[in-house]
Chain A
Amino acid sequence: MARPDEAEFTAFVKRQSRFVFRVAYSVLRHAHDAEDVVQEVFLKLYRNGAWRSMRDEQAFLARTTWRIAVDRLPHRSGVPERYAESDVELPSAAPNPEQSAVAADWHGRVHRLIDGLPEELRQPLALSTIEELSSAEIAVILGIPEGTVRTRVLRARQLLREKVMVMEQRGYAAKRS
């Protein structure tokens, strides 16, 4: 790699690596896998030289990253294996030390509930949490109409809210008992 190209590509990777990681992480929910995807995306762009001629960097990167990340999912539809229904059950009131530690992280529990959503709802919701991506861009990435994206995000949030409320009620009941 020539010197000017090297500096330019390094700047490009520095600028976009975190964004690419977040897109990959939103799909895979595993830091190491997401890092692998980041590496694969940038290597691919470097090899074919596409990084020099991108009109909309983030849209292009998000689409490429999403495709590579989805290919790495155990199942392309439905809940991934490691987030099977047994894993995302609501925490019980039993005083298990491990469950108590998990229960301390409210965000973590909500994330696990999102993991438990159907993939067709989870992916639009996950991509919508990346503030750089608009619903139009998410629609292009997922290959569905923009209206469908909005509907699915709303539906996902509604379903999640219901699950969180159930979780909160169980937690409140456990505290009282």
Chain B
Amino acid sequence: MLQNDPEFEAKLAQAVASYADPADAGHAQVLTARVLSAIGRKQRPQRWGLRFVLGTATLACVLLIVFLTQRQPRPVNQSARAPLPASVLALPSAPASAASSKVHIQRFHLAAVRDRTKHLPKLDQFPAPAPMTEQEKLLIQFVAHAPPSTQQLIAKTQKESDESLRIAKLTIPDLNSSNQP
């Protein structure tokens, strides 16, 4: 009978022992490589994520610094500004909505004047005379072709600005005077 056969029992024990031990799978090297590879895959996105966050934060800081630096008002060097023609000064002021473009033009003008006067010798006359820019010439041409009423207004304004200021004589009444209001 098989039940009492030692050969059968040994064979059965051997088969049972190999139940959880497949010879063709589960090699330690393969498993190790797979586990380490999986750990590497899990780690990589975290590293990239950290780098991305740090990079973004650094970039944001740099941009903020640049933005704040640009917004700080620059000191305007009035002495370096060339005198504009009276006709230009007498032009009607731009509408309020164009305030930002006016500031931009002013900056552009200042930069142009600075560049122009940079290499000029220092003169006794103050402020130093400088040739007109293209924009100033175009402005003068525009004024020249303006309608007569505008030209008259410009001339009047120029005349008023050229006239010397007259200040009425101050009279200080005596404190004890009866004329005191």
Contacts and interface: CB of A to CB of B under 8 A. Distances in A.
Contacts of A160: 12, 16
B38 interface: yes
A39 B24 CA distance: 18
Contact of B15 (A1, A22, A46, A107): A107
A161 B36 contact: no
B67 interface: no
Interface stretch (B25-33, B55-63, B141-149, B165-173): B25-33
Given A35-B34, A43-B39, A18 B26 contact: yes
B35 A22 contact: no
B24 to A, nearest CB: 8
A27 B17 CA distance: 14
Contacts of B22: 25, 31
B26 A114 contact: no
A17 B39 CA distance: 15
A94 interface: no
A157 B19 CA distance: 13
What 3 A-B pairs are tightest by C-beta distance, nearest first? A26-B20, A21-B26, A31-B25
Interface of A: 1, 10, 13-14, 17-18, 20-23, 25-26, 31, 34-35, 38-39, 42-43, 46, 106-107, 110-111, 114, 125-127, 129-131, 157, 160-161, 164-165, 168
Given A14-B29, A106-B15, 11 more contacts: A1-B43, A17-B28, A18-B27, A23-B20, A35-B25, A38-B35, A110-B16, A111-B15, A126-B19, A160-B12, A168-B8
